[in-house]
Structure 1
Amino acid sequence: MDTLQQTEIAVQRTDKPVSEQDRKAILANPGFGKYLTDHMVTIRYTQDKGWHDARVSPLQDLGLSPGTMVLHYAGEIFEGMKAYRLPDGGVTLFRPGANASRFNASAERLAMAQIPEDLFVNAVRALVHADQDWVPSQEGASLYLRPFMIGTEMAIGTHPSNSFLFSVIASPVASYFKGDAAGVSLWVSENYTRAAPGGTGAAKCGGNYAGALAAQAEAAREGCEQVVFLDAVERRWVEELAGMNIFFVFEDGSLQTPPLSGTILPGITRNSLISLANDMGLTVREERYGIDQWKADAASGRLVEVFACGTAAAVAPIGKVKGKGFDLTVRGGEPGPVTARLKKALTDIQFGRAPDPRHWLDRVV
């Protein structure tokens, strides 16, 4: 009842696509998340029918009752992934099965229906195939894909929804940060935490990001581009940024990243970089790292590089770090060689410029 196949995803092409001229103008300067492509995927779930009515259709607004449960109790999860233009003009996805698996882990945590992983991947593939002309060709640009699911039962009552809408939309994007090569500045939040043990920190749900917005605004007021959160219990251990994992690089060439303890999102980029670092012979430790250690190691020179990672930004070097009572700089605010080497290794695979021995790429066209 819940195993639709790709052949069962009906395709209805829009009769009013964005003109080729307008599309090319958008792709020349897409920004990040400003424009949506011509089509979307929708698949519905009910307890009696399971997953059904899978289709690619023209992009359109969602019609929801004001009593729809997602609007009141935030029954919503999403994923972030990308399609990349290959040197031969084709288009590929990067580890879509990992996104499908994480999506279902988020669904389980929020008491939502889980979608068969092959259906998730086939839905993403179907949208990319329909909107392949929207995949940019310029260096560093890609098509950002946003699968999401919401609880659609009309009920103002605190219980798991009995119906859901799964959808995929797409947006052409350029670099996430302005001045991509420069180091990102961070504000260490003491007023806010992102997640607590037993909470939803490991799930990719909208509430986690909404809860980070006040801290992100605080960071902006302090002249920083991003916020970095400490743990909710001791307010001591570095966890992650508002939407990215974090790595530390030491003078002996080793790397360290906070462990996945239920309060940190298990990043697919994070996992990929650990594998690539191991391939390079680098030691990677998944261990807690305190803010006091960060300050001391930066002062002594033991800490030589820091970078953040995630689907949106890939790998972003961290330059300046500010907080109550301190202001430190890593490598004078410039990216380091390990950060650059890992970013190149990752993006060369994603864009088809390097071999793919782990079969991470899933070619669509």
Structure 2
Amino acid sequence: MIYNLLYPLSTEIGVFNVFRYITFRSVWALLTALLISIVFGPAMIRWLRRIKCGQYIQEDGPAHQAKAGTPTMGGIMIIASVTISTLLWADLSNPYVWLTMMVFVGFGAVGFADDYLKVVKKRNMGLSAKAKFLGQCAVAAAAIAVLIQEPAYSTQLAVPFFKNFQPDLGWAYLPFAMIVLVGASNAVNLTDGLDGLAIGPMVVAMACFAIFIYVSGHAQIATYLAVPNVQGIGEVTVFCGAMVGAGLGFLWFNAHPAQVFMGDVGSLSLGGALGFVAVLAKQELLLAIVGGVFVFETLSVILQVGYFKLTGGKRIFKMAPLHHHFELKGIPESKIIVRFWILSILMALMALSTLKLR
């Protein structure tokens, strides 16, 4: 909005020319989202307490009973701050910005419905697994179907380390991209089990993809680095900046001991947006490296359930997802969280190195 209002005046007022730079607006989108989160966060937490949106703690897991009743659905704060900041600083004529926002809010709506039924309506469970999955698939399918109609976007798949190998998936790209979005959404949801455990790697991953998005949207840099160039997606860097700022602002309150949890409204929206940004940047496969922490957490659940069924009750881990396994081994929660953060930073750096390893 600020861009659309002020940049056209740059021919008369030279200082407004600064709004043409995506990097400038991305930094200010980050700062705006961070400021909104920190300023309005306490009021949001008080409101969640007032409407009794307290977190239920399962009895069969690690001893977290002291966290029972901590306000959840804090993801509403993330969605609000990202949305406001993006609308303020992005070029609102860019279709990729609106598509990204659609995925972000759409996945958040599915998570909100689940949280609302569990927390507000006090039901034993929220949406059924089938209903939640179908909701995620519907949002993902709609977004990808629109995306592949964009002239600048192709259904080719970029393969890390192989600059000349980019197979065209054709019609199969739609289900493939849907798997990326839904898988990323559920992976972040599974990781959200300790204070700051999901939002820390999420901030790192989104900062990493902000670079990939900017590079892919810049014709000269993309050509130099031999990565797919998608004209126009550079503007989504502003959204990524807002996500980083909102994530840091949420972490202010979610750091151990947490004052608020994000709930499914937060984890599903964050994961869906992460998956879609990876699709936009044509780095779908690289998401497995950037989001390595989310992948490990998801694989631990898949392996645990599969092994349990095959062996008639035996387990690989003490408990899944993986962070609970380390908890039951006696490692303090804060140490697990920080180590996972460190791992996410290392994985992001590995992914960035692939820009030159081709």
Normalised by the size of structure 1, how large is the TM-score? Answer: 0.28
The structure where helix makes up a greater share of residues is 2
Normalised by the size of structure 2, how large is the TM-score? Answer: 0.28
The structure where strand makes up a greater share of residues is 1
Between 1 and 2, higher relative CO (CA 8 Å, sep ≥ 6) is seen in 2
